[in-house]
Structure 1
Amino acid sequence: MMRCCGLLSVNKEPVPLKAIEVQVEVKDHVATVVSTLHYENKEDKAIEAVFVFPLPADAAVCHFSAKIGQTEIVADVKEKQEAREEYDDALSSGQQAFLLEESEQSPDIFSLSVGSLPPGESASIRLDYVTELAVEADGGLRFCLPVVLNPRYQPRGSEDRGVQVMSVPASQVPYSLTFAARLSSPRQVSKVDSACPLEPLQYLNKEQTQAVVKLAAGHAFDRDIELLIYYKDAHQPAVVVEAGKASAEPGTLMGDAAVMLSVYPEFCQAVMSSLATRGEFVFLLDRSGSMQGARIGSARDTLLLLLKSLPMGCYFNIYSFGSSFESIFPKSMEYSEKTLENALKIVKEIQADLGGTEILRPLQHIYSQPCIPNQPRQLFVFTDGEVGNTKDVTSLVKKNSSSHRCFSFGIGEGASTALINGLAKEGGGHAQFIAGTDRMQPKVMQSLQFALQPAVEDISVTWDLPKGVSVTPLSPPLTAIFQGQRSLIYAQLTGQSSEETVGCVTVKYSLAGHPFQNKLAFAFHPTEDTGLTIHRLGARTLIRCLESKEPEKDEEVKKKVVNVSVQSGVSSSFTSFIAINKGSSKPIQGPLLQRRVPGVSLRAPMAYCGIMSSMPYDASRRLAGSLDSQGYRHATKGKGLSAKGKRAPELRFSKMEKMSAKWSVPNTLGDAGGPDRFSSLEINPGPPIQPPSDTLLQLVSLQKASGYWELNPALATALHKTSKQVEQAKPANVNGNVWATVVALVWLHGFKSDAEVEWKLLARKAVSWLLAQKVPCIAECVTAGNTLLGCNVQKDSLGL
């Protein structure tokens, strides 16, 4: 067999992208990223190279330039259609042109076109952006450089309006990547963790407030590059004032000073100890084919922890989705021993077997369900986030934001930051990302603690500024504040004052009926030479806020988006970066060849590109009812396709084991694509549940809904003891369930203290149950439990 030479794509075409260099400057909790992409045309004809790649959804792309030989061309930001026409005109006249634009459907996907690169020519493309760093559950700041781009699933029947993603397996990516980050902060840099291989952290000063970290050679493109940066005392509130651009006109966004307020509230212990005991908890789980393997297994374990940690008297339901969607109950049910047991039997059987990733319809169904009085709705969404209709989904969540809070979880490499962050932002909740070998459980349980916190109400931000200075907010009003979650607020400061040099900002809110306020004074001395980072992040925030107002339908809003984007040099969905080398005009010999540079995918590309929607109707109908080439199951025409070949919304209920009941569910959805099909459900007994292999989860699985453990052989097994040992250690005249519950608590505190965030809520429920029993000999039980398990746990530390 003849071996092709050179770097080749999956279509055996030479790939012009040779290398990517990334330099990151992290200042406290903001990062500036400079990416340089090196291209070389080794073909004998001029080419146009197209590269589709991910960026963080909230990043502000603020610089784009190209260097050919010794000539550097800096791009301008222009209205998208105007930029595209200039690009086409440049190519037709033989000029080298470069076009960078954001996907209209998802702000975390960009397309770079390198046009009319002559034979033997090289070019270096520089792309700069700034981004905020998210706060993780353990207090670390998360920086992520997206490398993996899995093609986004297009729902059947939808128009593919997004950019076309060409992808290859990680092992076949035909270009190299180098990465280095410089860290600086007023506080000590404690450590940097990563799932990627890093060179040792190098400190640059004796105070250890500056450091450099580099990616070890040979990055395998099998994961996004994620850094977890830990500072000492990182969560102090702060205000930073940044001077405007000297050449910009005063009174404009870039000409005035800009301010960034970092809010990190600390609620009083009395409030935090009284978490809500009410709520409707709705869990929406992705069961598409891309969730197979460890992802779906981790999701099952996480649902176990979540369900065991819910308070008695709340309501809950679990939905799962793929090409269709299912629900374990026809409506949210009251949390009790019986409903918990039934739900866990179904969770155990969950598999990633529902096909594509159509999240919009289950969300529409959930929102169509009436809210339960005095039970605030809390929605938890678990997905690997590979959808092509991101803006439709986040718009739906925003439309229903007054009726619920939404907590989102991006699972695995390549999860869409636009989708995950957008769900949480529009739903007033919190977003988490679970990548590489991260455990899902601690992050999810942190979000459950957020959901159980009383809702913060009547939030206001007021500025007390020097005379002659006014403030214009760039951020939308704060709608949610959580203990342990940082919020960043941006504003424009117009005017000057020579009298006062101190400003003050006050954040007020009401929590559990009590008024609170955080007041922060700051020196009014704008910092110079900052690279306009705060201005650009503020502009990006304003652009995103305007884009959420459906500017496609409002020309004035669209015009303002374009004006802010052009003025600030920050990308938007209505503008593009365009650079033209006007000195390169040469007649093109023959047609311009297009070469699509493959992105990184960890899965087979066709599985996520809407394979059915791209086929003629007859072909898709023949495939329906069977497994497609990627193992996805599609409904038969009679059950899931309307006469026009469009997918009808389909809701199915899972079988519930060991129950004897029937549900007759009314038709409530309604859709032009066809009728809904709710079927009566026979529930048959099934095999008994096998305990999880993880010791912590095994113990958790045995806890009852009200919080206690039963004294039985299964508990002894989970504790790695014999039933006889556990029975003999029990103090005389102590109830067996009281003894079992105390021993379980001692084991959790003695052996799993490092995982407290995972079991904290269910332990609190167990303590409440014990206190309600009014047992006089708890101290004796704790002592006996320590002796049995070989621990030294104090009674007070158990909360008793």
Structure 2
Amino acid sequence: MDHLKLHTKMNYCGLLTAQKNPVPLQSVEVELQVKDHVATVISTLNYQNKEDKPVEAVFVFPLPGDAAVCHFSAKIGQTHIVAELKEKQQAREEYDDALSSGQQAFLLEESEQSPDIFSLSVGSLPPGESASIRLEYVIELAVEADEGLRFCLPAVLNPRYQPQGTEGPELPVNSVPASEVPYSLSFSARVSSPRPVSKVESSCSLEPLQFLNSDHTEAAVKLAAGHKFDRDVELLIYYKDAHQPSAVVEAGQDSAEPGTLLGDPVVMLSLYPEFPESVMSSRASCGEFVFLLDRSQSMGSLIRNNNNWHETRISSARDTLLFLLKSLPMGCYFNIYSFGSRYESIFPMSVEYSEKSMEEALKKVEMMEDDLGGTEILQPLKHIYSQPCILNQPRQLFVFTDGEVGYTKEVLDLVRKNAASHRCFSFGIGEGASSALINGLAQEGRGQAQFITGSERMQAKVMQSLKFALQPVVKDISVTWDLPEGVSATVLSPPITTIFQGQRSLLYAQVCGKNSETDCSVTVSYTLADHPFKNQLQFNLNPAKDTGLTVHRLAARSRIRSLEFEERENRGKSDEDVKKKVVELSVQSGVSSGHTAFIAVNKDSGDAVQGPLVRRDVPTPGRRLSCMVFQSSPHSCLPRRRPTVFIPHSTPVFASQASEPEPPRRDPLLQLVSLQKASGCWMLDAALASVLGKNNKEVEESKPAEVSSEVWATILALTWIQDGCKG
């Protein structure tokens, strides 16, 4: 440890080498290509060794958890090397063997613990040499509450907390304050759709949107100049008349063998079921609402807020919970749990929602801080699932966390095993929240995921999740295909287990066989409020143009994730057989998995690189961390021992600040919501007047004589909200 030191500044701490050695990664270039609701992301990482010794550069970074990584290549001078996907241990051995013999080698691997963390190793980069690494992945874009399509390029990699006594993650994490990231980012996006693009928004400054044709179905946009890759880049894309049911049929690869995934056509269905109005209007306002709030140390980190409020993750989570508590229906049941290294609940068991119980809960929520240690979510989840369900009160679980756990797959397995007893709605709080955990909780718990990165759009997201939670549970979901004779469909996606009104459901299927007839249909049947319903989508099997293999890769990713879960379910039984299927599908489709890695070796590099390699860990933007100890040593020609991360159970690092921060100012909308009663009304008092920018006398005198104070206060509050919080 004498060659490393902890680096602490403001609310952050991370690791830098004591000598502040130069970072080989110089810049990152990202090109985003969006076609309707599917995106292809091409990242180019430019490296240069400015030292007088050969180096190995190791970069651990986040990617979206549901991304299908499908290409990895390197360019050194005029030499271009395309990596191959191989079984992970084999790829690691080839990488180590190459370095031992002085060859240049490149390794890209996915974490076995969490599919949203990748490690890129650039080995044997000689002094003065440059290398350009190209990484490509495809991803489905999530639909936001306001019907925008959300793309997030994650920059911030929060360290994953690992409880004491559990197996740590196999990938090292090197983090520095976001302001000290030494490499730059250039980002451009091109959007095309059958429907016109109405607007593109971002959490970062953008250059003006440029339309590339007269009907506005193609557009381009770039990040404003000077952007540092010190925060997540969130892009929101809005289409006119968006989110209609659709089908895309993609032709197979000519060189691939028919009957294989790449050799056959694959269809991607986007379904948007619409429930009958009669059912939606008569739905019962009931349920048991269980809230699980992360109070670990990392929840004290600041998050970005365009309104400049001094907002932390824990305050954002409290505000999100406030919206939900104020919106629950009278007569339902609720309870609030919070967790860190231990967990606690406000009530011994869920209680009926009333003015009294709501006020009691809010007082305790207001006192909640980031003071419970690490992020140990498994035990509170197990306790919640052990509680008996309340008759005729369907359980809805809401989880609020920054997603910094190191055992993501174990958590998701637990939620999936208990999916029949509840629905899970997850909220990722702040930048760097694990997309694998947040999206996985919702997918396995048959709910919905939201990402809260500031006060903007929070209310819409919260209310959409609550609206979905109040919808009746859809049961007996089945999918039937009406295909031409001799044509069959093999579904590659997990079965559809959840349907919400107007929310997209994606389905992938491999199409086998041929027939001159191309018209076909798929029907989704389900039971809603004890009544059977059907939604049908008609389409034809003519392949779409210019789709490449995007749909095939997304389908492969979906199938790989299903197999990986099956492997964990069967651990100790047919474990190796399923692993073999994952490796075969991954290699065949060119899509990464937890059991494979991309390996590229420059066998034409001429003279072997002489001398031992010096390891350089490329830092990732980080937030406040628990104390982290890295084991690292200069690389030798012997087979290497991989660095490990230790996050002690009881040794937090508290960052110092030069001066006391200003007391936080609260969003006026949140102030107004905090005054709302459980019944949904407001009281005509000085507190309400203050939020409205008036004094008590002014609001009292404005009240018509025939209207009660309570009704008038509610009218004023709702009018203020309706007018966009203008007062």
Deviation of the 1:563 alpha carbon? 0.9
- Tell me if the contact between 2:683 and 2:713 (Cα under 8 Å) persists in the aligned partners: no
* Counterpart pick for 1:521 among 523, 535, 538: 538
| Structure 2 match to 1:289 | 297
- TM-score of the aligned structures, taking structure 1 as reference length: 0.81
Q: Which amino acid aligns with 1:405?
A: R
Q: Tell me, what secondary structure is at the counterpart of 2:416?
A: helix
What is the rounded CA distance, in whole Å, between the counterparts of 1:156 and 1:212 in structure 2?
Answer: 48
Deviation of the 1:94 alpha carbon? 1.6
| Structure 2 match to 1:586 | 607
Deviation of the 1:719 alpha carbon? 4.8
Q: 1:624-654: CA deviations, max 9, x gaps?
A: 6xx843279xxxxxxxxxxxxxxxxxxxxxx
| Structure 2 match to 1:388 | 406
Question: Is the counterpart of residue 76 in structure 1 residue 84 in structure 2?
Answer: yes
What is the rounded CA distance, in whole Å, between the counterparts of 1:695 and 1:582 in structure 2?
Answer: 63
What is the rounded CA distance, in whole Å, between the counterparts of 2:146 and 2:724 in structure 1?
Answer: 11
| Structure 1 match to 2:332 | 314
Q: Tell me, what secondary structure is at the counterpart of 2:627?
A: helix
* Counterpart pick for 1:16 among 6, 11, 24: 24
Q: 1:175-196: CA deviations, max 9, x gaps?
A: 1111101100000000000010
Deviation of the 1:524 alpha carbon? 1.6
Question: Is the counterpart of residue 213 in structure 1 residue 218 in structure 2?
Answer: no
Question: Identity over the aligned pairs, expressed in percent?
Answer: 70
* Counterpart pick for 1:740 among 694, 709, 715: 709
What is the rounded CA distance, in whole Å, between the counterparts of 2:354 and 2:458 in structure 1?
Answer: 25
Higher RCO (CA < 8 A, seq sep 6+): 2
| Structure 2 match to 1:630 | 654
Deviation of the 1:265 alpha carbon? 2.0
What is the rounded CA distance, in whole Å, between the counterparts of 2:421 and 2:537 in structure 1?
Answer: 32
| Structure 2 match to 1:547 | 564
Q: Tell me, what secondary structure is at the counterpart of 2:388?
A: coil
Q: Tell me, what secondary structure is at the counterpart of 1:606?
A: coil
| Structure 1 match to 2:523 | 506
| Structure 1 match to 2:187 | 179
| Structure 1 match to 2:641 | none
Q: Which amino acid aligns with 1:213?
A: V
| Structure 2 match to 1:240 | 248
| Structure 2 match to 1:375 | 393
* Counterpart pick for 2:479 among 434, 451, 461: 461
| Structure 1 match to 2:674 | 701
Q: Tell me, what secondary structure is at the counterpart of 2:719?
A: helix
Q: Quickly say closer, same or farther: Cα 1:729–1:39, change in 2 above 3 A.
A: closer
| Structure 1 match to 2:233 | 225
Q: Tell me, what secondary structure is at the counterpart of 1:246?
A: coil
- Tell me if the contact between 2:184 and 2:229 (Cα under 8 Å) persists in the aligned partners: no
What is the rounded CA distance, in whole Å, between the counterparts of 2:441 and 2:620 in structure 1?
Answer: 25
Q: 1:595-629: CA deviations, max 9, x gaps?
A: 1111111335737999xx9489xxx7xxx6xx843
- Tell me if the contact between 1:78 and 1:575 (Cα under 8 Å) persists in the aligned partners: yes
Deviation of the 1:261 alpha carbon? 0.4
- Tell me if the contact between 2:161 and 2:374 (Cα under 8 Å) persists in the aligned partners: yes
Deviation of the 1:699 alpha carbon? 3.8
- Tell me if the contact between 1:289 and 1:631 (Cα under 8 Å) persists in the aligned partners: no
| Structure 2 match to 1:273 | 281
Q: Quickly say closer, same or farther: Cα 1:16–1:59, change in 2 above 3 A.
A: same
* Counterpart pick for 1:122 among 112, 117, 130: 130
Give me the CA root mean square deviation.
2.6
Question: Is the counterpart of residue 577 in structure 1 residue 594 in structure 2?
Answer: no
What is the rounded CA distance, in whole Å, between the counterparts of 1:394 and 1:174 in structure 2?
Answer: 35
What is the rounded CA distance, in whole Å, between the counterparts of 2:29 and 2:107 in structure 1?
Answer: 19
- Tell me if the contact between 2:99 and 2:123 (Cα under 8 Å) persists in the aligned partners: yes
Name the stretch that deviates more: 331-340 or 254-263.
Answer: 331-340
Matches within 5 A, 1:43-62: 43-62=51-70
Deviation of the 1:530 alpha carbon? 1.7
Question: Is the helix fraction higher in 1 or 2?
Answer: 1
Q: Tell me, what secondary structure is at the counterpart of 1:479?
A: coil
What is the rounded CA distance, in whole Å, between the counterparts of 2:275 and 2:439 in structure 1?
Answer: 24
Deviation of the 1:711 alpha carbon? 5.0
What is the rounded CA distance, in whole Å, between the counterparts of 1:44 and 1:693 in structure 2?
Answer: 53
| Structure 2 match to 1:752 | 721
What is the rounded CA distance, in whole Å, between the counterparts of 1:725 and 1:96 in structure 2?
Answer: 76
| Structure 1 match to 2:383 | 365
Q: 1:135-175: CA deviations, max 9, x gaps?
A: 00100000111111122111222221331100111121111
| Structure 2 match to 1:668 | none
What is the rounded CA distance, in whole Å, between the counterparts of 2:190 and 2:706 in structure 1?
Answer: 63
Name the stretch that deviates more: 700-709 or 20-29.
Answer: 700-709
- TM-score of the aligned structures, taking structure 2 as reference length: 0.89
* Counterpart pick for 2:582 among 561, 577, 595: 561
Q: 1:671-718: CA deviations, max 9, x gaps?
A: xxxxxxxxxxxxxxxxxxxx9954443443333323344455545555
Deviation of the 1:577 alpha carbon? 0.6
Deviation of the 1:91 alpha carbon? 1.3
Matches within 5 A, 1:596-675: 596-604=617-625, 606=627, 614=646, 628-630=652-654
Deviation of the 1:722 alpha carbon? 5.2
What is the rounded CA distance, in whole Å, between the counterparts of 2:318 and 2:260 in structure 1?
Answer: 52
Q: Which amino acid aligns with 1:469?
A: V
- Tell me if the contact between 1:299 and 1:440 (Cα under 8 Å) persists in the aligned partners: no
- Tell me if the contact between 2:297 and 2:626 (Cα under 8 Å) persists in the aligned partners: no
- Tell me if the contact between 1:151 and 1:609 (Cα under 8 Å) persists in the aligned partners: no
Deviation of the 1:351 alpha carbon? 1.4
Where does structure 1 lack aligned partners over 5 or more consecutive residues?
1-7, 633-690, 757-788, 791-800
Q: Quickly say closer, same or farther: Cα 1:693–1:21, change in 2 above 3 A.
A: closer
| Structure 1 match to 2:10 | none
Greater C-alpha radius of gyration: 1
Name the stretch that deviates more: 502-511 or 545-554.
Answer: 545-554
Question: Is the counterpart of residue 168 in structure 1 residue 141 in structure 2?
Answer: no
Deviation of the 1:249 alpha carbon? 0.2
What is the rounded CA distance, in whole Å, between the counterparts of 1:93 and 1:380 in structure 2?
Answer: 53
Question: Is the counterpart of residue 419 in structure 1 residue 440 in structure 2?
Answer: no
Name the stretch that deviates more: 264-273 or 360-369.
Answer: 264-273
Q: Which amino acid aligns with 1:561?
A: V
Q: Quickly say closer, same or farther: Cα 1:724–1:17, change in 2 above 3 A.
A: closer
What is the rounded CA distance, in whole Å, between the counterparts of 1:729 and 1:417 in structure 2?
Answer: 49
Q: Tell me, what secondary structure is at the counterpart of 2:599?
A: strand
What is the rounded CA distance, in whole Å, between the counterparts of 1:529 and 1:409 in structure 2?
Answer: 36
| Structure 2 match to 1:495 | 513
What is the rounded CA distance, in whole Å, between the counterparts of 1:93 and 1:471 in structure 2?
Answer: 49
Deviation of the 1:119 alpha carbon? 1.9
Q: Tell me, what secondary structure is at the counterpart of 2:372?
A: coil
Deviation of the 1:240 alpha carbon? 0.6
Deviation of the 1:733 alpha carbon? 6.7
What is the rounded CA distance, in whole Å, between the counterparts of 1:615 and 1:53 in structure 2?
Answer: 18
Q: Quickly say closer, same or farther: Cα 1:275–1:309, change in 2 above 3 A.
A: farther
Deviation of the 1:83 alpha carbon? 0.9
Question: Is the strand fraction higher in 1 or 2?
Answer: 2
- Tell me if the contact between 1:21 and 1:179 (Cα under 8 Å) persists in the aligned partners: yes
What is the rounded CA distance, in whole Å, between the counterparts of 1:608 and 1:231 in structure 2?
Answer: 47
What is the rounded CA distance, in whole Å, between the counterparts of 1:579 and 1:235 in structure 2?
Answer: 40
- Tell me if the contact between 1:153 and 1:609 (Cα under 8 Å) persists in the aligned partners: no
Q: Quickly say closer, same or farther: Cα 1:583–1:605, change in 2 above 3 A.
A: farther
| Structure 2 match to 1:679 | none
Deviation of the 1:754 alpha carbon? 6.2
